[in-house]
Structure 1
Amino acid sequence: MLSANIQAGSSTRGYHDYVARSWSHVLPMGDKRASLDAIARLAAEFDIVGLQESDPGSLRSGFTNQTHYLAQRAGFAYWSHQPNRRVGGVASSANGLLSRLEPTEVVVHSLPGRVKGRGVMLARFGKCETPLTIAVAHLSLGASSRLAQLGFIADLLADDPHAVLMGDFNCTIDTPEMEALFKRTRLQPPAHCVPTFPSWAPQRAIDHILVGSGLKAHDRAAMPAAFSDHLALSIELDVPEHCLQ
C-alpha cells in the first residue's frame, strides 16, 4: 500500500523552486509526463495507492486526468478520483485511488475548513459487515481546520477495526488534533514515524498511513515520488481474509 502527494507532476528540489518554478504549478510546462511515468513505475509495485494533489484535467496538466493516466501506465484495473480545488481557473487538485482489487463502493465527502476545497474519499472492499475501508485525504495547513476535518473523518470511520486512513495530513502524529482522532476511532498511531517532508531533506513526518486495530502494518518506508516535494509512504498490510469477501 502506498500514499503519495504527487504535486501534480511538478518538480521541487529545494525551497528556492517554490519561487523559481512556481509557474509549473499553474501552467502546462516542465516535464510533468516524465514525472508521472516515474510515479507510475513506483505505483506498479503496490496493490492499493492513494494519491493527493493529482490534477484531474486542468490547464497545468495539459488537460490530462493524472489519476487515470497513472492507472493506465501502472496497470491498475480500478481507479477513482475526487476533484477538490480549483486555482485561478487554470489548475485543479484531486484525491485519487488506484487499486488492483475491485471496490464494492466509493464515496466522496467534502471536508469542513476555513477555506473550502478539501475532501476525503472512502473505498470499501468486500461485502461483509466490516469490510476493508480505505480513506484518502489531504488536510489543511491550519490546525483549527484540521481539527474539524479529522473530527468529520472520525465520524465516518467511527468504530471500524478494518479502516485505513492515508494521505498528506500537514501535521505530525503528536498534535492535539491527531490525538482526538485516535480517541474517537480504532485507528492506531504507528510504532514509528517516517519523515517525508521536504523530500530533498526529510525532517517532518506529515504523510501518514494509519490502520485500524483489526489490521497489522509493517515495513513502513518512505521513497521518492519523482520530484514531488513529499516522499511517498508505503506499508505492508495484513488483512483478514473475511474482510474482502
Structure 2
Amino acid sequence: MSRLEARAQGEVDVKVMTFNIQSGLRGLDKVAEVIRSAGPDIVALQEVDVGSVRAGGANQPERLAALTGLVHHAHFRTTTLWGGDYGVGLLSRFPVLSLEQHPLPVAKGAEPRTVAHAVLDVEGQEVSVYVTHLTRRPFNDAVRIQQSTAILALMARDARPKLLMGDLNDTPESTSLRLFKRQLHDVFALRGVGPAVTYPLPVIPSLRLDYVLACGQFVPRHGEVLHVNASDHYPVVANLTLRAPALVSAEAPPAEGSSGVASAMP
C-alpha cells in the first residue's frame, strides 16, 4: 500500500523536508541524492540560486526537480548574488495551485528576506506551505521577532491546513520560536528521534536552526535530522498525517510534551 494511503477516510500521510542547501556548493547532485533517499513529498529549500555564476548558470529548483522526481517546483527571489537570483524554493509531488511571496522586515541595509506561500493540492485538500529563511544570527533577535510576527499575521488570515518550514536562524528557546509555537507544533520537539542539531559547528556548540512547524490540522508522527555532508546545514524530515476536515478542531496546539498531542497519536 502507498505511504500516501488514507489512515481513515479523508486522512492523508505526508512526508516533508526542510533543507538549507548552501547554494549547492558541495554539489547539487549530493543534495538531490539526500532528497531522493529520504523520499519526501514536499521540500522547502533555502539558499537557492537561479542563473548565478556559482551555480554554473543553473536553475537549481528546476534541476533538483528533474533529479528527484518532485516535478512541481518554484523559486522565490530575495536578492541578486553572484550574477543570479538568490532566495528560497519549493519542490513538491503534489500539484501547485498558487504561489506568492511577501517581503519581511529587515534592518536597514541588511539582506532582504521573504516568506514564500504555496497552495498545494494534497489528495483533494488545499494545503498552504510557507517557506522562509530568517535573518541570520547573532545580534538580530529583534528583527527575527518582527519577521515571526509578520509571518504569523499572514498565516492567521489563511484558513487552510498550514506548514511553515525553513531555516529560522534561531534556537528553540528563543522569543521568535516561542511566538511560532503558540500557534504551531514543532514536529521534531514532539516526535523527533536522534540528535536535534541542524547546524554543526567545529568549536562553539552546534545549533538547532531548521524547523518543520505544523498547524493543528496535522498530526505529527515522526521527525528526524539527517546527518549528511551535502551542505553546511542538516535537513529535517517529518512524517505527518493531514486530518480530514471534519475531524479538525479549532483548538490551538498544546504545549510540547503535553497530553493533548500525545492523545491524538497511536
Q: TM (normalized to structure 1)?
A: 0.80
Partners in 2 of 1:199 and 1:3 — Cα distance? 19
Compute the displacement of 1:241 (Å).
Answer: 4.7
**What are the superposed Cα offsets for residues 72-125 of structure 1, whole Å, 9 maximum, x if unpaired?**
1111221011011223x5464221100010021111111111124211111112
Instruction: Report the equivalent of 1:133.
Output: 128
**What are the superposed Cα offsets for residues 7-64 of structure 1, whole Å, 9 maximum, x if unpaired?**
01114xxxxxxxxxxxxxxxxxxxxxxx211211222311101100011111111111
**What are the superposed Cα offsets for residues 183-223 of structure 1, whole Å, 9 maximum, x if unpaired?**
3xx31233266211127798311100001112112221111
**Is residue 120 from structure 1 mapped to residue 115 from structure 2 by the alignment?**
yes
Q: How does 1:72-87 map to 2 (within 5 A)?
A: 72-87=66-81
Count of residue pairs the alignment pairs up: 216
Instruction: Report the equivalent of 1:174.
Output: 173
Partners in 2 of 1:199 and 1:218 — Cα distance? 29
Q: How does 1:2-41 map to 2 (within 5 A)?
A: 2-11=17-26, 35-41=27-33
The change in CA–CA distance for 1:91 and 1:125 in structure 2 (over 3 A counts) is closer
The change in CA–CA distance for 1:199 and 1:48 in structure 2 (over 3 A counts) is farther
Partners in 2 of 1:199 and 1:92 — Cα distance? 28
Runs (4 or more) in structure 1 with deviation over 4 Å come to 199-202
The change in CA–CA distance for 1:241 and 1:56 in structure 2 (over 3 A counts) is farther
Q: Which amino acid aligns with 1:62?
A: G
The change in CA–CA distance for 1:70 and 1:148 in structure 2 (over 3 A counts) is same
- Structure richer in helix, relative to its length: 1
User: Which runs of 5 or more structure 2 residues have no equivalent in the other structure?
Assistant: 1-15, 247-266
Q: Which amino acid aligns with 2:215?
A: G
The change in CA–CA distance for 1:134 and 1:199 in structure 2 (over 3 A counts) is farther
Task: Say what the alpha-carbon RMSD is for the aligned residues.
Answer: 2.5
Quote the sequence identity (%): 27
Picking from 29, 39, 55, the partner of 2:49 is 55
Partners in 2 of 1:156 and 1:230 — Cα distance? 27
